[in-house]
Structure 1
Amino acid sequence: MLIFELSDKMETNTYERGFIMLTKDNTVVGFIGTGVMGKSMATNLLNAGYPVVVYSRTKEKAESLLEKGANWAESPKAVAEEANVIITIVGYPTDVREVYLGENGLITNGTENTYLIDMTTSTPSLAEEIYEAAKGKGMHALDAPVSGGDVGAREAKLSIMVGGDEKDFEAVLPILQTLGTNIVYQGKSGAGQHTKMVNQIVIASGMIGVSEALAYAVKSGLNPENVLQSISSGAAGSWSLSNLAPRMIQGNFEPGFYIKHFIKDMTIAFEEAEKMGMEAPGLSLALSLYKQLAEQGEENSGTQALYKYWKE
């Protein structure tokens, strides 16, 4: 297993893989998906000096990137015709399938030696299917889901979990280093997605604990800010406690990560656990609570809106 912990970005302009040399001069990065995280990620690529061509279903969502120098493509097919490294971060596995394997998809229309990096949280089986389809056309596919939310994306401090061929991981590592600081090669195709499922299981139960604890603090008459000051750096400390509990206190439920997408992730994790004959009671409870919130109209709120289950 390869682990890269970076405090400062490596100034890597080239990487040689056999007879292939990826440089900022001969690499055009395609970026598909300009949502809460994708827009910041594409911005970081532009800031690092990479030429970027973007596609999003709604062009207006990409306007700020176009103003920064990105070029617009009318479809995934158009991205495939211009870019030799393509990153995707879209909503659901159905979107991933369409972007990669559809009539206007990347693999359908891509060229040999293109690197495909799917950073969507999707199913391990689809990652494997995409890998095999890409391999059949002489392309290189990696599943590389991320964790860190809107803050991690904006500050280029994402955790990136990568599955696929190790030599392909090494080839695109300089590009990944513009997006994250904790970049781990996990193994064969699908391993990145399985690792993301582990991540989401931890977060699912943890969010219950953070929300329930904060509700307890408020109901007992404590000052929640003072409580966080005491517990955030102790044994109870976590990313969710430090980054999302303050938003709960402020009543800020804007999405750093949508509830609807978290439900998608937890559903994938639950189904994968079932396939392995594994019980997941914590995951099951979190999934049921978030589904209740979605039914109440909170599907487009941030995951910290779980606090409303106790607050209201």
Structure 2
Amino acid sequence: MAEKKPAVAFIGTGIMGAPIAGHIMDAGYPLTIFTRTRNERAEALIERGAVWADTPADAAREADIVFTMLGYPTDVEEVYLSSDGLLAAAKRGATLIDLTTSSPELARDIAEAAEVSGLYAFDCPVTGGERGAIDGTLTLIVGATERDIEPIRSLLETFGKHIFCFGGPGAGQTAKLSNQVALAGCLTGMADALSLAQQSGLDLARVRELIVSGTGRSGVMETLAPAALDGDYRPGFKVTHFLKDLGLALQLAEDREIVLPGAETAFGLYDVLDTIGGGEMGTQALTLMYQEEADAVAAGLDWSQYTMSEDSEGCGCGHDHEHAHEHGEGCCHGHDGSHDHEHGEGCCHGHDGSHDHEHEHGESCCHTHGEGHTHEHGEGCCHKHEGAEA
């Protein structure tokens, strides 16, 4: 007689959560689901046999194992720690696993509160994007030990190809944020490389093929560059969520009193992309920041939003950015008038008129500048400069 599998609850059946939940069902685990909006993804799981719950607490009440995959740390805190949250509702002895990329400190708080309630909770953010979730090949980054996860390893392996354990609560989140910092460099490297090749009149597909054959290769160049070259900006991982991850990484770096200039530059660029309407696009949409304004507009971006945000307090995109527009801000396209970019900001495209644009401390200015540019301290200025330069 086959051993009865533990009951599983899954909270958050979005772009990645739904296929992960599907793999769990395929392996024979009874599944109860909740997601904020009962959408097509949720309905598809219900049609396959999942049970719908009206609240996260209802989903978790009879579950042996509870997964969450949510958007932001505030969502995680509410779902776990509110008076009607998971820690209050889950049955004694249950295991709670958060797949969200969230705050290391919050992960530690949840683990401690769970222990007091007779529960076991650990952080387990994932990487691999929508494709990895669909294929069941995600990498799991665990804030626990190998011994801790042994009882549920077979369940984790239903959707994860690689499992890395980092020993204790919050450590999985810290390791995931390190991964996102590396990803930021790959994304900006992809966008820079394709822009340089394009402005030099090269065959972009051929250049990409060259890069992935050598030491410049990356998962981003292999999987996201083809979509960017095809003008496909649908999200496997949304810009707004990547901004959240980078913000968490930069906050952690600030707490550790270290500087991450590459991550800061990427944060600035993606912050601008979010401001001009790219928040729901995939991260490969960074390449739009280097294109002609008409191409960006055709893809759904609105550069006037950036101008409006400059004229008001904050970035204008609705996010509470603690690192907004400092030390690595990105300003990429179509700005007129007199801008002063300092401390490594990138300014990539389409400046018109007679700028007295002074780039300091290594800033790069990449495309189509008018007259009167002064570059200082080794700045790079890459394309189509006219008039007097000093």
Question: What secondary structure sits across from 2:14 in the alignment?
Answer: coil
Higher alpha-carbon Rg:
2
Pair 1:109 & 2:89 matched = yes
Tell me the equivalent position of 2:11: 32
Question: What secondary structure sits across from 1:236 in the alignment?
Answer: coil
Matched pairs, number: 290
Pair 1:226 & 2:206 matched = yes
CA–CA distance in structure 1, aligned partners of residues 212 and 108 of structure 2: 39
AA matched with 1:50: Y
Tell me the equivalent position of 2:120: 140
Question: What secondary structure sits across from 1:257 in the alignment?
Answer: coil
Pair 1:236 & 2:251 matched = no
AA matched with 1:160: L
Quick check: 1:119–1:146 contact (8 Å CA) kept in 2?
yes
1:29-54 deviations in Å (ceiling 9; x for gaps): 11111111111111111111111111
Gaps of 5+ in 1: 1-22
Question: What secondary structure sits across from 2:166 in the alignment?
Answer: strand
| Alpha-carbon distance change, 134 to 178 in structure 1, aligned in 2, over 3 angstroms | same
Tell me the equivalent position of 2:103: 123
Q: After TM superposition, list the pairs within 5 Å mapping 1:237-276 onto structure 2.
A: 237-276=217-256
Tell me the equivalent position of 2:142: 162
CA–CA distance in structure 2, aligned partners of residues 100 and 71 of structure 1: 21
CA–CA distance in structure 1, aligned partners of residues 69 and 149 of structure 2: 17
4+ aligned runs moved over 2 Å, structure 1: 164-168
1:148-190 deviations in Å (ceiling 9; x for gaps): 0000100011011000354332222111101111101111110
Tell me the equivalent position of 2:315: none
By how many angstroms is 1:103 displaced?
Answer: 2.3
Pair 1:48 & 2:27 matched = yes
**Which deviates the most, 280-289 or 26-35?**
26-35
Tell me the equivalent position of 1:77: 57
AA matched with 1:46: M
CA RMSD of aligned residues (A): 1.2
Pair 1:95 & 2:75 matched = yes
TM-score (norm: length of structure 1): 0.90
CA–CA distance in structure 2, aligned partners of residues 36 and 231 of structure 1: 29
Pair 1:64 & 2:44 matched = yes
CA–CA distance in structure 1, aligned partners of residues 283 and 162 of structure 2: 22
1:69-125 deviations in Å (ceiling 9; x for gaps): 111111111012121101111000000011111122110111111010000000000
Tell me the equivalent position of 1:8: none
Quick check: 1:142–1:168 contact (8 Å CA) kept in 2?
no
1:217-266 deviations in Å (ceiling 9; x for gaps): 22222221122222213101111110000010000000000111110100
> Percent identity over the alignment?
41
Quick check: 1:77–1:105 contact (8 Å CA) kept in 2?
yes
